[in-house]
Amino acid sequence: MVGRIYQLFYWELFRYMKKSTGSMAEAEDIVQETFLRALEHSDLINTMSEAKCRSWLYRTAKNICIDRIRHVQAEPVLTAKDYLEDDFTRTEVLQMCSVLDPKDKALFLLRYFEGYNANELGEMYGLPSSTIRARLMAARQKLKEFYPELKKKGGK
């Protein structure tokens, strides 16, 4: 049934989210996440009529959109005075991360640039949050080994 509702409602839901967000990429992400949730709840979806499935999809997409807005609003707005002269720029950090394993680099960037926490990353990667924290700690340690100047910055 989920495959059928995907065929029936994907483009309709995509247009709705594109209009709501003003971004094709954001709309695609939200619609994909909506259908992933539909797959997770396929036992429920399979018992619904097409009209109820459509309502469920729209409500889920709207809730995902609201959650994303809340996540962005919860992030502190940094100004120039929030940065110290010796802080590393994003480009420098990206270059430094080249010493990391690609999977650990992805975790590191999602955690420290995108603001995901260990629980969210654990859900994304299908790993316990303790494993995520351990991998992030190992990544930080590896960066400190390659770049001794990081130790002077007060990093743990």
Q: Is residue 67 domain-shared with residue 85, that is, in the same domain?
A: no
Residue with tokens 């709309």: 27
User: 86: pLDDT confidence band, cut at 50, 70 and 90?
Assistant: very low
pLDDT-wise least confident of 15-24, 44-53, 141-150: 141-150
Among the candidates 34, 56, 74, a domain finishes at 74
Determine the straight-line distance between the first and last CA of the chain, rounded to whole angstroms. 50
Among the candidates 23, 46, 74, a domain finishes at 74
CA atoms of 153 and 156, how far apart (whole Å): 9
Q: Quick one: pLDDT at residue 149?
A: 72
Q: Is the full-model pTM beyond 0.85?
A: no
Q: Is residue 55 domain-shared with residue 106, that is, in the same domain?
A: no
Q: Is residue 15 domain-shared with residue 43, that is, in the same domain?
A: yes
Q: Quick one: pLDDT at residue 95?
A: 80
Residues in the chain: 156
CATH of the domain at 116: 1.10.10.10
Q: Is residue 66 domain-shared with residue 86, that is, in the same domain?
A: no
Q: Quick one: pLDDT at residue 38?
A: 93
Nearest Cα to Cα of residue 31 among 5, 1, 70: 5
Does the pLDDT at position 111 exceed 90?
no
Q: Higher-confidence residue: 7 or 84?
A: 7
Look at the chain and report how many structural domains it folds into.
2
The set of residues, in sequence order, having a beta carbon less than 8 Å from that of 140 and lying 6+ positions away, is 108, 155, 156
CATH of the domain at 56: 1.10.1740
Residue 81 burial (10 A CB sphere; 0-12, 13-18, 19+): exposed
CA distances from 53 to 4, 25, 35, 89 (A): 11, 24, 11, 46
Q: Is residue 56 domain-shared with residue 116, that is, in the same domain?
A: no
CA distances from 139 to 59, 103, 148 (A): 39, 10, 14
Q: Is residue 87 domain-shared with residue 115, that is, in the same domain?
A: yes
Residue-number span of the structural domain to which 109 is assigned = 80-152
Q: Higher-confidence residue: 90 or 32?
A: 32
Q: Is residue 84 domain-shared with residue 66, that is, in the same domain?
A: no
Mean predicted lDDT score pLDDT of the chain: 83
Q: Is residue 86 domain-shared with residue 140, that is, in the same domain?
A: yes
Among the candidates 59, 74, 89, a domain finishes at 74
User: 146: pLDDT confidence band, cut at 50, 70 and 90?
Assistant: confident
